[in-house]
Structure 1
């Protein structure tokens, strides 16, 4: 399904990721064949991050439809109760596919390192995104195949670490999947193909949305250190989640780039803040962002995400062209309307969360090359670029964002380490202030 982008492109493009991104446009990157095939009938997997997404990813792997004999052999989470909750849920559903004795259940912030010592073939990394670059580096150094959730980083230093680690993964012939399930949804593949075939003409603008009521809240416990509290309540701290424009809206921003031929925007400007979600339990992130992205050819992408209950919700992506438009519901149907023709509706089909594992395991069982990082990491960096714009209130360029030295990391990765965000005297964490906060 490799086709040229629908937009005109400059031959002097200075995008250091362009070649790799374009080659991985709609699926697997065509690297040389992996050094080793699967080698045995059983595929042993281990998980870091035993929350809802991690438990769901396990279920998708264990219930794959490509005949992979997958067994769970180890678990890691910063908190032991989550390991036990995950283990109970997965064991109840897949009693014959779980073998995780107590000595293969690892806790604390460094417990992920022990997963590589268990004999697992594939490591699933579903821990908070702020840990992703550090975890991925360790798994690659240990020679493990990896499935990791999106986003791939929360700041520019993390983005650069991921790129470097992925080069090592490719050199070692490691297979790497990324949890952008929309890339595997049948209706998304069909609509992107139609866009790339020119059915809606030249793209004039795009719209993408992730508006919802928000997510869980985990109040502070009396005996927690600041580090424990923030890791437990990770969604509300930018160094751990990237803010919800990075953690959730990255799905839509990845599709926006995909619609544009796996190209990234070159500038962003926008606005955002927190209006509803203010208080001791909500950390430092915004509850709404609106960003105007501009691509190299001048095409505009309009991005909206909101976490406020009682409002219009939407998880969708839309491309408007000179001949028509495409609208895709994230977890629903898709429609293409071309001028002079009846609209065509495409139903969702199977859930992409399952399909992404089928595609990954099929490649693994066949010993085929598989790497989804180079094209999906553009979505992560696009989301970071958007956050830089909304936090600062400035126009930020892609090159400025990628080169940023703004590192959100804590002083270390132990329970007594010091995260950068601190609550004020009233217990409320200050948030970014457009016009005052530095962009990068």
Structure 2
């Protein structure tokens, strides 16, 4: 994949990974602690009527994945990537439709609407909503029973809870939140969803891949013996950036350039590296109890365009059973790229995805056919809904998100951060009121000066 001219690891990024994979019939059961099962396409029984909140590149791609529409990703020189319907593509998933759209910006909504029209889905004007309250209007439509949340991460906890309260099943993009109060709200929404019999699946698509499921099942069954340590990486290039236009207020520009502001994205250790941290929590079967981190902003160009987030982090995570995980993530061009995970045990090692090497014993490699994980995560949720056993990944994505936040806050402050401290923190990021106008953003966090509130 190329992002702004930077070559990244193939087969990893959210919207290019496995795009060419066939949606083969799957048969690998997930690890018991995680309640989904990789399945074939759901039977065309109950209709799924989608409402999309957040119509940018990520949301536009997610809704097409839910429909089973073949797409291609376009990366402009500047600005966010978009997904365009491939010529001749059609909706493949039966009894799945899109009936409502919501976004802060009219142009984002219009582009998504045009993509849907190319495959014969026409969302009526009275089901298209714009503005900060657009999500509320969409959730008020009784016919919507499946909501996709693809707005900037800051808004997801509030929108998730509102959707669950409205009785909707939810697919939410990752990460789940950007701050501890948001994480706690996601956990609360997950508990409410269980009470109401509603499903929640997150955009940590590796959990819906056959290769990861089969490999981690074997690790959890003892193939590596007692686990000792792990490493995980998302070292890649600089991602898309949106240059400011004179007519945009501070709020509009930050919303459009949201990756570069911690209150909107959580910084890249939360927004992007959450994929790898999620795998480590999954393999170990727990979340870390503390983090010690370094990080900084060394290579990002000066000026406001790239916001105030860091460009590199290195974190040592300690788990209750004594396991250490060493984590790296970086967004710098012209450097070596590495995206993936690794775990070592008393009997051997594994990349957590496709191979297990046993010292003095029989090694193993995944040789099955892979699914398109971006479609499969929707199919798994849809089938679970139709089967009356909706999946609920809220707690897992909340813990993985908080793992990233804990590492970020340790790097920002230069202090060791404990799990219970960060979980119970009242540090809330973002403005008190959402409106277009002035919105200054903080300076780059300086360790030793920055304080976790």
Mark yes or no: TM-score above 0.5: yes
2:193 counterpart (161, 166, 169) = 169
Once the 2 structures are TM-superposed, how far is the Cα of residue 27 of structure 1 from its aligned partner? 3.1
Counting only pairs closer than 5 Å after superposition, residues 50-89 of structure 1 correspond to structure 2 as 50-63=55-68, 68-89=94-115
Once the 2 structures are TM-superposed, how far is the Cα of residue 376 of structure 1 from its aligned partner? 2.3
Counterparts of 2:407 and 2:379 in 1: how far apart (Å)? 32
1:381 paired to 2:402: yes
CA distance 1:24–1:397, change in 2 (3 Å): farther
What is the RMSD computed on CA atoms of the aligned residues?
2.2
Give deviations 1:246-272, integer Å, cap 9, x for gaps. Answer: 0010011010000101x0100100101
- TM-score norm. by structure 1 comes to 0.85
1:274 counterpart (297, 301, 314) = 297
CA distance 1:49–1:341, change in 2 (3 Å): same
Counterparts of 2:335 and 2:218 in 1: how far apart (Å)? 32
Once the 2 structures are TM-superposed, how far is the Cα of residue 24 of structure 1 from its aligned partner? 6.5
Q: Is the 8 A contact 1:287 1:306 kept in 2?
A: yes
**Larger deviation: 65-74 or 79-88?**
65-74
1:351 paired to 2:377: no
Q: Is the 8 A contact 1:110 1:413 kept in 2?
A: no
Counterparts of 2:208 and 2:399 in 1: how far apart (Å)? 17
2:235 counterpart (192, 197, 211) = 211
Counting only pairs closer than 5 Å after superposition, residues 292-311 of structure 1 correspond to structure 2 as 292-311=316-335
CA distance 1:431–1:300, change in 2 (3 Å): same
Q: Which residue number corresponds to residue 444 of structure 2?
A: 431
Q: Which residue number corresponds to residue 358 of structure 2?
A: 338
2:116 counterpart (66, 90, 95) = 90
Once the 2 structures are TM-superposed, how far is the Cα of residue 420 of structure 1 from its aligned partner? 5.9
Q: Which residue number corresponds to residue 189 of structure 1?
A: 213
Q: Is the 8 A contact 1:391 1:433 kept in 2?
A: yes
Once the 2 structures are TM-superposed, how far is the Cα of residue 91 of structure 1 from its aligned partner? 2.6
CA distance 1:40–1:113, change in 2 (3 Å): farther
Counterparts of 1:148 and 1:408 in 2: how far apart (Å)? 20
Q: Which residues of structure 2 form unaligned runs of 5+?
A: 1-29, 38-42, 70-90
Counterparts of 2:365 and 2:329 in 1: how far apart (Å)? 25
Counterparts of 2:126 and 2:300 in 1: how far apart (Å)? 41
**Larger deviation: 341-350 or 395-404?**
341-350
CA distance 1:28–1:349, change in 2 (3 Å): closer
**Larger deviation: 146-155 or 52-61?**
52-61
Counterparts of 1:193 and 1:183 in 2: how far apart (Å)? 11
Counterparts of 1:340 and 1:88 in 2: how far apart (Å)? 58
Give deviations 1:167-196, integer Å, cap 9, x for gaps. Answer: 222222111111110111111001111111
Aligned with 2:238: secondary structure? coil
2:123 counterpart (81, 100, 124) = 100
Q: Which residue number corresponds to residue 391 of structure 2?
A: 370
Give deviations 1:123-162, integer Å, cap 9, x for gaps. Answer: 1001000001111121122111111111111001111112
**Larger deviation: 108-117 or 316-325?**
108-117
Q: Is the 8 A contact 2:145 2:167 kept in 1?
A: no
Give deviations 1:262-297, integer Å, cap 9, x for gaps. Answer: x01001001011111133210010010000000012
Q: Which residues of structure 1 form unaligned runs of 5+?
A: 1-21, 30-37, 423-429
Counterparts of 1:355 and 1:23 in 2: how far apart (Å)? 17
Once the 2 structures are TM-superposed, how far is the Cα of residue 41 of structure 1 from its aligned partner? 3.6
Once the 2 structures are TM-superposed, how far is the Cα of residue 328 of structure 1 from its aligned partner? 4.2
Q: Is the 8 A contact 1:42 1:70 kept in 2?
A: yes
1:402 paired to 2:415: no
Counterparts of 1:85 and 1:313 in 2: how far apart (Å)? 32
Once the 2 structures are TM-superposed, how far is the Cα of residue 166 of structure 1 from its aligned partner? 2.2
Once the 2 structures are TM-superposed, how far is the Cα of residue 48 of structure 1 from its aligned partner? 0.8
Count of matched residue positions in the alignment of Structure 1 and Structure 2: 395
